[in-house]
Amino acid sequence: MPEMTAPFWQVQSVFDPDGGGADFAYTIGLHTKGLPELHVWARPSLGEDPGDDWMLSNSDRCRLLNELAQSLVDGQLSIGSTVEQEYDDGVVRATFRVDPPGDKELLEAFGVPDGVDVLPVLWSLRRPAEGELTELAPAARREASRLRGDIRGGFAGLEWRGGLPHAWALDEPPDFDPGQSYGPLTPIVFARAAEILTADDATLARLVRVGAGVGYWGFTNEPAATAAALARPVGRRKALDCVHGLGHDLVTWISHDRKERPWWPVLRAVDPELWDTADSESRVAIEENLGKAFHDVVVSCLAVEAVADVAPSALLLRGRGPWTLGMRGGDTVQYPDWHASAGVLSAVRAELAALSTRNLMRVVTAFDSATRELSEADEDYAAVCSRLLAWASVSAASCPRSLVRDLPSCNHVAGLGLWPAAALVEWATCLTSAITNRAHMSARDVETFASLHRREMPHLADLLNRPI
């Protein structure tokens, strides 16, 4: 697709009030440049797969129409053009075809002025066929048993509320029967459910906060959708539907149905200042936004666990990362699977080792001030760092504490107690994440991140732009 410029059009998205999937979206404004408008349905209208359990989300439709509109403006799209897109980590492919003008009334493009053509973008869906439900492989059983033990060990320090179904008891031998409601990995799904039901309010608030931060950058919805796509060829589509229902029920119970534990203290703990200064109407909006973030983290983690034996490692990191960070605490995920590559860590180690104690103090102090005090001058820098930390929680991009701890200058400053060690690890993780995810950063992002530290690290932009 062409590089996007500032659009002079908008995308109107319309939801099916009956929840049947008849959602659609269309552009408004292309006609001001003498061009037709574009329209797309959420479900496929071509091909053999009707997509009964798959549809383009609101963000999918908006992104697609914006990209197609840009191609139309650039003269690279016309009637008869076809475009292919991948979804769900490449498991799902869609072919879009631009058709001749359609009936505006039938397309329900009521925001388009009379006399303007609307081109329907019809599409077909290709994905793996549903397969047979099979037993877990021995290696997958061993890994699931190990993970279940790790989850059980994580209960230390969490408050056990009791009242869990007998099947969720983690001291019972796991049952990996594939015919269970949540599939062969039901014991792991139950363990995660028990983990969140036994969490205290501080842990829940941390999980919500992480979900909101990661979700802001769009990293919490996709894992559940990809997990559902992976479930088809192994016969677990219905199991994933049940997992989604379980996640929804857990969130509803925790946030609305717990009579003895109200939800508002959790919401307040996410950002006390924001909650205390908000009026009643604003608090309703806060609850809605944070509730969605909480829901997305829970459902994504449960869904990924239900297909963990067939999921690529990248999907496991995306589904488990926000959950792990929220449940275990800390500013970055410190488990080895989330660490950046050896090459990236070597480059960062060399960069930090070359810094004097004074310059290291200045770098971390500037980072801490810019990301926590959030002055207007530092908003762009804070936004870049927020996205870098979000990436580090959903991919192999974080900096291990040991790298920082082993550097003499870092030890010296930490020993003086001049700043929290966590701030240094957090900034170092921004750096490892920036190098790891450089392909997803704009030149402006790199300049914003490097400019704050130009005096202490004049070659930082070069480091980010150098292939590793």
Q: What are 253-289's pLDDT values in tens digits?
A: 999 877 778 999 999 999 999 999 999 999 999 999 9
Compute and round to an integer the Cα radius of gyration of the chain. 24
| Distance of alpha carbon 447 from alpha carbon 313, whole angstroms | 31
From residue 95, alpha-carbon distances to 2, 126, 226, 446 in Å are 18, 8, 18, 34
Instruction: Using DSSP, state whether 121 is helix, strand or coil.
Output: strand
- Mean pLDDT score, 143-156: 79
| Distance of alpha carbon 381 from alpha carbon 383, whole angstroms | 5
Q: Read off the pLDDT of residues 163-189 as tens digits, 9 standing for 90 and up.
A: 555 556 566 788 999 999 999 999 999
- Band of pLDDT at residue 160, cut at 50, 70 and 90: very low
Amino acid making up residue 63: R
pTM: 0.85
Beta pairing class for 10-14 and 24-28: antiparallel
Q: Read off the pLDDT of residues 66-103 as tens digits, 9 standing for 90 and up.
A: 999 999 999 999 999 999 999 998 889 999 999 999 99
- Which DSSP category does 113 fall into? P
| Distance of alpha carbon 391 from alpha carbon 292, whole angstroms | 20
